Structure 1
Amino acid sequence: MTSPSNLIKSKTQPRHYNSFDSQIEDLENPPKNTNRKFNKLATSIASVSTIGNFSQQRNNSNSIQVVDLESSPKDEMRHNNIITTSGVFDLKEESDSDSESCSFQQGSIKKKQKTLEDMVTLGDKTKAEAYRNKHMLRKIVDGNYIKYPIIHTSTAELGEYGAGLELYFNFVKQLGYLFSIISLISIWPIYENNSGNGLYHGAAKQWWSYWTIANQKSISLDSLVLAEDDLSSINQSRIMLSVADFICGLCFIIFLIRYSIHSRKIVAENFKNNVTAADYAVEVKGIPEDFCDTGLLKEYFEQYGEVCEVYLARNYDGLLNEYKKRAELSIKLGYERAAALKKEFKNEDKIKKLESKIQKFDTAIHLKFKKGHIMHSQLPVNRGFLIYNRLDDKKTCLKECKAIKRCCRRSIVPIEQYFLGKYILKVKQTTEPSNILWENLEISRWNRMLRKSLSIFLALVVLLASIVVIYVMKAYDSSLPSDVYCIKELKINPDISFSAAEKIYTSNKKSFCYCKFQSWSDIMSDTDINSYCSYFILKTTTNLIIKFCSSCGVIFINFLLRTIFKRLSKFERVSNKTKEQLNIMIKVFIAQFINTALIILIVNANFDKVSAVYYIPYTKEIFTGEFSDFTREWYVSVGESLVFTMIVCIVSPHLLTLIIICPFNYCKRRCFYKMYKTQKSLNRAYTGPEFDLACRNSQVLNLIFTCYLYSSTIPFLNLISAAALFILYWTDKILVLRHYRKPPLLSYHLNNAAIKFIPIIIIMHSCFAIYMYGSENIFPTKVIENTNGQVIVKDNSILDRLFSISGILNGSIIISAGFTALMLFCYSDVLSKCKSHKNKVETETQEYQGTYREELETIKKHGLHTYKILENPEYHDMVVSLDNGAVKVLSLRTSNEIRPPLTRSRTFS
């Protein structure tokens, strides 16, 4: 009896014996109710499933010879040019074998394995739901998958899916606590600022401008006596604000110390509580390229203990990514073959086109790389991965294989440690199987350094381009008259009555200036004033829209930069995902911080008072802004725009993902699942995207850097930070537990890099605070009377600012932050006992953990349990496709070299 699924093959090739697709057809028992179209296509469309060990031989005629391979000797198969049904040999590497195949003999047939096309199945909603449960964050209770509760799930439970994920949520939560405390402290400065009279009613467009130091009491210049009395009151307010800011700085330093120690403890606890394959594994370099005897390698390393698995990673020379395209074509072809019966064989043309594309791909790859005939197990060896059964054995291996260091970085290796008597093997701790980028392992150190240098150069070019774009956006002049221009140039008197102003100020500019000094409540309540101020309302509204678009433009450009920097980080081709994510985080954070916090400062800066700056080329063309200091007008104009941008950052992009994308994906799964043709595409639709830990970390750093940088004089930014961190924490927690798929097991390096940035923002904040609190426009320190009897404010020099109360307090914060950073990052073992030597966390033996075999089922629940690339779903299709292509190329070679002899049994047309 034949299989229910019959083999139907497309006639995409000329009918001669050496075609790429000379595969067999099972036509022994065709269906009885076949129509004419089926009979026509029965010899042209490949089958959905394997039907047995048969093969065909096709000569220049249309006749077919079917041979049973199980009864046919290999010699007969070779002389008659016979290949296997599926056209491939065994693709799955022998998991229990102690050795791998070193050579490939033409004509030899190994255990048959399905092709990638044969593995394609039509979409099944039930299977997709089961796949979703398996690949989303779920806990298993009594054999059933149960969703984690959103509120009661702790960060330690999230740590089961990698230390990086647990540390991220801890980092955001602890920062949220910190800024909640800082926000409470900031209530006093906000109250002090709001109680001032520095901004007249209606001077600010947004209410939060009155919460800045721009609204601090202004000094009276009518007489020297009144000015000195005001000076005493202003100095008292500055001391109070400086003390509050000093307390906030101390809180940040305490947070830095506490969290640095706490994060190390989290890492140690995570390694103790969560077992992964990397806990038992080591990485071995220095293996000969042509080595294939895994049994010998296993025997060598079993001198330290039982080895459960040996896997040899390969040098792909760029082949792996190339075969991603072939895998996609094979999946499409598999679907069309599987759907042939359902479509009543109307997809013949599609099948022919796909088969033709695959054939062209195989030919092109073979011509390009000259390796199209080489199977995965025959590629050169790059390194090896070993999994020990016991943690102590792994630790012993790492200790015994460590080379003895000598001066000038030379290593001395005992002769007994030489592998096969002549090879020095380098053994080190390895990362998780899901964290490895297999296609990048072949990149040498110098190649990677060159790529990194080029990537940094391109990143700087892209960053410079984005700076120019944002500079132009922020420098847009709406041609609105300033307060100084209105009063000094146009001689506007804001205190005269409306009836008089209506007669005197008839031009648009004058009416704008008069209305500018009136309150919005008066303008909107009185119809006559509203009509008179229509030009003011129009221009002000337009200006607000421009500022909003400018703020959104910054966010959009930051999004583009994130996408570009992801590509650049992939171009560097680092060896694992953690390093790649680290590169992305640093690049994206620096770019976003410059675009969000510093560009707006540079656009509006004018360094006329600091002439030394103009010795730098092109600075005269760049620093042409309106403000040479942090004046009251700066907070009304620039400060408002900055606050507006940070308010937008509260909801973008994470909250938009929760409100829009997450419900859309839910509807897509429930209502539009029939759109997805194959099981693979349906599975992909049922599991969400991967949680972007690098971009989330960069977003958090950008948020706290931008807000805290200016928060000494705009304390409202501290409240924005607290609210943004609270929303970000819960939004990301909901998305991770309900929307995103199970992430790779990333390590703690992203968190370590984020912690190292914290001292920088503390120091930058203190430097800005010293300069801002030293502005004579808001906090004058000395007044004098000139020869004309006018009272004028003396400018504050840099020394005046440094030796003021604010300068002294913030200077102590700078010193404390620098010393703390030095102790934490250079002499960390003084402050923490969690790490006494390098890599102790990774190699520490947890006595209560079982062996690898005992913990195998636990490991499988949270990630990959093996280093075999075919077990990795991200690479499985590419490797299978590589082997499929190799067999097809080899079959063509064989058919070209060995022509089948003419016999009487052959039929000629």
Structure 2
Amino acid sequence: DGDDDDAPAAPPAAPRFPWDEEIAEAVNDVLRRDGVESISLKAIREEVTERLGGFDLTEKKPTIKAAVDAFLQYVELFGHPPKAKDARAIEEKKHAKREAAAAAKLTRDAPKSVKFVDLEYGGVEIGKDVDVYRAPSVELAEKHARSVNVYKIRSGVNVYFEDDALEDFDGDEILGYIYDQLQARGIIVNRVIKASRSRAMIEDVPFSQIADLEASGVTVAGVKVRCVADAVPEVEDGTSAEDLADMVFPYEVGKTGPVELGDMGVGIGLYFSCLLWGFRIFALIAALSSFTIVVYLKSGFNSESMSAGGVSGYAVPTLGAVQWLHEQSIGIFSSAASSTDDTVMLALTCAECALACYFVFRVFRLTRDQAKTALSIDVSNITLQDYSIKVDGLPRDDPDVTPTKLGVHFSQFGRVHQVVLGMDVGSIIGIDRARAKLVRRVETLNAKLARDAAETKRRFEEFRAMEKERFDREKAKKYRPGVLVRLWRWHKRRVAHGTVGAVKNMKRNVARLESKIAKYAKRVAEKKKSITHHTVAFVTFETEESMQKAVRKYRPGNPLAWLFRAEKYRYKDHRLVVRRGPEPSTVLWENLQIVGGRAFRKRFTAWVGVVFVLICTGSLVVISQSRENKVPSSIDCDKAESQGLLMCDTMFPAAAASGEASKAIIRRQIGYLEQVTPKQCIADGYIKDGTWVGATSVYSPYPDSAEWDATTLKDECAALACMDCFCKERVSESLWIFLGIKSDDDGWYELCEDYLAARGYEQLTAAVTSITNILLTKSMGTFSEYESYHTDSDLQNAIAYKLFLSLVVNSALIPIIVYASVTELAYVPYLFQGEYTDTTFSWYDNVGALISSTMVTNAIAYPLEQIILGKFWLWRRRRRRKHAATQDDLNDLHENLEFPFAEKYAQATSMMFIAMMFSSSMPMLVPVLSVYFLLAFYEARYNLLRLCKKPPRYNEAMADTFAATAPWASIAKLFFAGWMLSNAQVPQLDYSLKEKDEILSPISSSTGSTFDFNTRLNSYNATACLTTMALILLGYVCVWNYVAIRRFILRLFPKAESLFEEVEVSMTPDLSIALSDGILKGLPSYEVKDNDVYFPIVGDHACKSAGGIDQPIPKGWEGQVDVDDDKKKVKVREDALAVRIVQEEAGAFGEGVQKALRKNKGKSKEKKDSSGKDSKGSSKSGKGTGYGDLKDEPGSMFDDGGRGRRGRLSRRRSTVAPLDWGADRYASEEADRAAARRAARQQEAAYAAAS
């Protein structure tokens, strides 16, 4: 450039030459004439060369480029090219005038006229368009977090009442007293909590009912108690109560139990109940296993075993310690082996069998307790699942399938509230989700562009304010003032390193994404027009009883019931599959079309993938085991040397030499090692269970000969055993050599390199197994998602099941298979090629230690894994929060992680299964398991309440799977106990049975082999385990076929019906009541319009519906109940009326009757035999009333005052006419007793429904 006041020149870093000004002026002339974008740097150089008279400007390329850059900078900053003036005239101007003019120009005009034409995003002009950018609000993000993360939301106010009369009652009993009172006033109470000895609390009373409750109070046991509510928060106009800080608040971690956690769903509450159950039960089993633990510890810490190094580490408290003593002819409790050891081990086996039976008993109790826990949780968590069924098997293309007609079909089970018919919208959801991702990317890009423009404006204004005085003092040179240079460079870094092309590329990306979005939107619109296929239907009844009846009649999971479906239960001759409906929020609408063969193919492919992943993870163990096979098991060197069997220092005297002499001896030993493997030495009998048994003393005079005996491998195996003896003593020295701290002067590292690597792999295998377990955890979710389950609960259940099997196989079965040496299965590649033909004591020192270390590692790693991930997420949120460009980005950062429900269940189940499998031989795994359950409970509770989002409302399916899987752990325990306790090295009592030997001969191998069943089953230890296992399996078969057995017994003994009599009590109100009282939780219907996740995607096209809230009930939906059902309902109403009149006539019940009527919680199951005795053994002393156990309660209706006559309500001349206890209704005393029993059960049902 010339010396014009308006024109910036080249940057200060450009070189100065006499003709630089002429070059700059020539460049400017060329650019002004041809334009900025239409001429290349090469063309500029050629024309400038021509103008300057043919100067060679090859070495002046930087000068020319600097002049071009200066020109471009000027245009970018000021919006117009510099003016052309005579360079010579400009140079003659005075320096002072140039300085003053430039400073005045920059100070006055630059901040007002700067426009980032090409570098600004979209040509935004500072001061105008950039103001449209709004930074995301942290307050809105925190509000969003309160709605999606785990927070306790109060729907009302807690009301307290206090009186000494409350001391003898728990919360459920108090609820029984006050439920009817409050229901009559329109106040719905779901839960009463005992706050202290004489104080109780009603949770979440609606705001509108507080005043009525405080005014009326409640009556408990005849005592009037005043109610006092918490302070009601003031709600401002336009603000909902849920937005108030004291209505949405974090849970108290230390005071939150399974029932409170069950507010997030029955499945969540049951999971935490299972963890506490596991901690208590396995702590108790560990205590009951104290005899086994003491025997193993006594053997492991035996002085002989400790001095000889029999077993070590994790193998000390195992059966291997007993086996080592027995092999050395040492007794468990004495210095020599005796028959007492056999008796001790038989007693230990019987104790383990008893523990297996006890565990089965506790599992069945768990099933019952889970039902009670689920019921106690479900009392205050009424959802649409309690009233709904899911119908599969509908004709997909039949236009005559409508919600109205489906409702008429299912009204035979009761009044139908709503029918929602799902449509095939899977492709729409997939396309729209892809479109949503693109929309999100476009919004983020545009927000970043606008944010950077606004930031540029802010920075420029800061520069102007700070640098004003510097502008005035800046010399008006031909170079641009420094402040603009810094501003331009800063802006260059902000926008893709300052290249105009990068900005244009970003704009092109936005345009490309918007074009793609438009195409996706068009495809979605076309798909919505072509939706015709039906998928499944969700039928919602008015009552829970109707839903249960429909499920009971259709009998899901029974192939015979499906095949021989009655005609009236078919729909258009189609055999429907009816199951209990899922939670509406867990329905995966995109997967509903995956049924039949398509679903089977997906599941088959997923299982193939699971097997492939297991093969890959198992290969790591195989690789580790192959390295370990290069060295033998740990040899008892001292014992072999003391017996004169292995004289290593004589055969290979490298320790007595040094330098090259020592290396020569070691190389000779390595020559022997290369000719043999540990497996060959074990097969030839030179090494047996870590002991050298081949005598080599006869060869000691010939240590230098390489031809000891060519016909055997004794010399080679001796060299192998000596390598173990040498290298064990030089572990630290070899480690220093490996790290480079020392040099291998004597050659020992060359000998011990493979030994150290093998021992390192042995220790690393446990860590590798734990790492692969985590990888399995992540991969199982991918396979299960591919299977396309219809609900999230089914998806999580599938993940848990696959992961449970994978963890058990990876942590327990793969090590057993890889390290086993089974001749009969030698044809299997890579497997059964190990060194252990049986579970000898050296097996515990290697494989058992691996399994134990894996269990201990998992017990720590599983709980820590999720906490570490959660803390990392919080750290990531803090780091990235300030960089969020949009509100959605900031909201996503404030969302916590998903709660890994399926992973947690699978980990707990696999830990339980593996510990139970080996608990008979490695009993210390049981206390480790108990500690794991406790750690998992506290970790999962903290993780859920502080680091996770709200989980879906899972049902009890996964808890049922856990309870169904647990009994098989006892079967596995007995199987492995029978196998390990019948090992030849274990002290045991034997017997012989000729018939048994003849039966087992065809399948039994030779004596001493792996499958020598004859010898094993001659042991009382194996027989005891096998017998117990058979009895447990027989019990399972009886439980599975309970219905068939019940029918068979009733056919033989009709009067035994009372033995199987059960009363199922529903505590769920009608759906209309739940809706009107506001106690229905979750989504109010299965319609997509109520689902915030799917409605924005598919709108009203995802389903068709009939009925529902505020909609007319179609004709024919009122219920077409069978005549038999009508008679039963009439009978129930009569009995209920009789009980109610009994209460009115009796006045205030006696204390005994009140307790009997209050104490029923959940499902009331009362079993009475034909003699009049109930399940508690009460006799006929109640004279047929069914309350024989209450006859002596003072003041009760059955109290005869000691006069030996019936109570006044039991007499046939009772004045309570509606009971009809006379001859007009019943012709015999038997009928009289039956009526009283029904009345009692109905009263219990009435109270249960109220509570």
- TM-score normalized by the length of structure 2: 0.52
1:235 Cα deviation after fit: 1.0
Cα 1:762/1:501, change in 2 over 3 Å: farther
CA contact (8 A) 2:264 2:950 kept: yes
Which residue does the alignment assign to 1:356?
Answer: 512
Which residue does the alignment assign to 1:585?
Answer: 800
Higher mean displacement: 814-823 or 283-292: 283-292
1:207 Cα deviation after fit: 3.1
1:718 has 2:718 as partner: no
Amino acid at match of 1:248: L
The gaps in structure 1 that reach 5 residues or longer are: 1-32, 46-117, 525-530, 784-793, 884-909
Amino acid at match of 1:867: Y
Distance 1:880 1:493 in 2: 88
Cα 1:351/1:401, change in 2 over 3 Å: farther
Which of 628, 631, 649 pairs up with 1:480?
A: 631
Which residue does the alignment assign to 1:656?
Answer: 865
Which residue does the alignment assign to 2:67?
Answer: none
Paired residue secondary structure (1:691): coil
1:182 Cα deviation after fit: 1.8
Paired residue secondary structure (2:603): helix
Amino acid at match of 2:265: G
1:464 has 2:606 as partner: no
Paired residue secondary structure (1:622): coil
Aligned residues with identical type, % of pairs: 18
Which residue does the alignment assign to 1:314?
Answer: 423
CA contact (8 A) 1:315 1:381 kept: yes
Q: Deviations over 1:215-264 (max 9, x none)?
A: 2262477999x999623132133124223323321321221221122223
Paired residue secondary structure (1:313): strand
1:292 Cα deviation after fit: 11
Cα 1:178/1:297, change in 2 over 3 Å: closer
Distance 1:848 1:583 in 2: 33
Which residue does the alignment assign to 1:24?
Answer: none
Which residue does the alignment assign to 1:192?
Answer: 295
- TM-score normalized by the length of structure 1: 0.69
Distance 2:885 2:148 in 1: 20
Which runs of structure 2 are paired with 1:434-453 in the superposition (5 Å)?
434-453=585-604
Q: Deviations over 1:819-847 (max 9, x none)?
A: 3322444428999x9xx999x99x95624
Which residue does the alignment assign to 1:68?
Answer: none
Which of 324, 331, 334 pairs up with 2:443?
A: 334
Which residue does the alignment assign to 1:133?
Answer: 146
Which residue does the alignment assign to 2:1167?
Answer: none
Paired residue secondary structure (1:677): coil
1:666 Cα deviation after fit: 2.7
Paired residue secondary structure (2:307): coil
CA contact (8 A) 2:311 2:320 kept: no
Paired residue secondary structure (2:920): coil
Cα 1:341/1:34, change in 2 over 3 Å: farther
Higher relative contact order (Cα pairs below 8 Å, separated by 6+ residues):
1
1:689 Cα deviation after fit: 2.0
Distance 1:476 1:727 in 2: 35
Which residue does the alignment assign to 1:646?
Answer: 855
Cα 1:511/1:323, change in 2 over 3 Å: same
Which runs of structure 2 are paired with 1:191-590 in the superposition (5 Å)?
191-196=294-299, 197=302, 199-201=305-307, 203=309, 206-216=312-322, 218-219=325-326, 230-283=337-390, 311-337=420-446, 341-344=450-453, 350=506, 353-363=509-519, 372-375=525-528, 381-385=534-538, 387=540, 391=544, 409-413=564-568, 429-477=580-628, 479-483=630-634, 503=656, 513-514=724-725, 542-590=757-805
1:163 Cα deviation after fit: 1.9
Which of 822, 833, 841 pairs up with 1:632?
A: 841
1:650 Cα deviation after fit: 1.1
1:777 Cα deviation after fit: 2.3
Cα 1:203/1:559, change in 2 over 3 Å: same
Which runs of structure 2 are paired with 1:49-68 in the superposition (5 Å)?
none
Cα 1:830/1:352, change in 2 over 3 Å: farther
Which residue does the alignment assign to 1:869?
Answer: 1088
Cα 1:870/1:619, change in 2 over 3 Å: same
Distance 1:38 1:307 in 2: 67
Q: Deviations over 1:744-788 (max 9, x none)?
A: 1122222222222223221121121112112222436689xxxxx
Cα 1:202/1:704, change in 2 over 3 Å: farther
Distance 1:176 1:635 in 2: 26
Which of 1050, 1057, 1073 pairs up with 1:851?
A: 1073
Distance 2:810 2:547 in 1: 47
Which residue does the alignment assign to 1:674?
Answer: 882
CA contact (8 A) 1:281 1:429 kept: yes
Q: Deviations over 1:708-755 (max 9, x none)?
A: 212211112112211222211211111111111111112222222222
Cα 1:325/1:150, change in 2 over 3 Å: same
CA contact (8 A) 1:286 1:423 kept: yes
Q: Deviations over 1:383-410 (max 9, x none)?
A: 454556665676788899999x999524
Amino acid at match of 2:787: E
Amino acid at match of 2:792: K
Cα 1:472/1:207, change in 2 over 3 Å: closer
Amino acid at match of 2:364: I
Amino acid at match of 1:459: V
1:436 Cα deviation after fit: 0.7
Paired residue secondary structure (2:628): coil
Amino acid at match of 1:561: L
Q: Deviations over 1:298-347 (max 9, x none)?
A: 89999999877665532125231122111011123334455665444998
| Alignment RMSD | 5.1
Higher mean displacement: 591-600 or 297-306: 297-306
- Higher Cα Rg, which structure: 2
Cα 1:534/1:191, change in 2 over 3 Å: farther
1:601 Cα deviation after fit: 1.0
1:580 Cα deviation after fit: 1.8
Q: Deviations over 1:265-293 (max 9, x none)?
A: 33333333311122244446568776899
Distance 1:765 1:873 in 2: 48
CA contact (8 A) 2:621 2:818 kept: no
Cα 1:724/1:222, change in 2 over 3 Å: closer
Distance 2:562 2:288 in 1: 55
Distance 1:819 1:402 in 2: 25
1:607 Cα deviation after fit: 2.3
Cα 1:234/1:512, change in 2 over 3 Å: farther
Which runs of structure 2 are paired with 1:783-802 in the superposition (5 Å)?
798-802=1013-1017
Distance 2:841 2:119 in 1: 85
Cα 1:160/1:814, change in 2 over 3 Å: same
Distance 1:581 1:260 in 2: 20
CA contact (8 A) 1:327 1:877 kept: no
1:649 Cα deviation after fit: 0.3
1:762 has 2:956 as partner: no
Cα 1:816/1:123, change in 2 over 3 Å: farther
Cα 1:654/1:406, change in 2 over 3 Å: closer
Which of 123, 143, 164 pairs up with 2:136?
A: 123
Paired residue secondary structure (1:725): helix
1:600 Cα deviation after fit: 0.9
1:813 has 2:1028 as partner: yes
CA contact (8 A) 1:589 1:701 kept: yes
1:568 Cα deviation after fit: 2.1
The gaps in structure 2 that reach 5 residues or longer are: 1-111, 125-131, 158-240, 242-246, 455-494, 496-502, 667-718, 736-744, 992-1006, 1047-1056, 1103-1251
1:441 Cα deviation after fit: 0.9
Amino acid at match of 1:827: Y
Amino acid at match of 1:127: L
1:210 Cα deviation after fit: 1.8
Cα 1:313/1:849, change in 2 over 3 Å: closer
Amino acid at match of 1:636: D
Cα 1:679/1:149, change in 2 over 3 Å: same
Cα 1:532/1:277, change in 2 over 3 Å: farther
Cα 1:246/1:781, change in 2 over 3 Å: closer
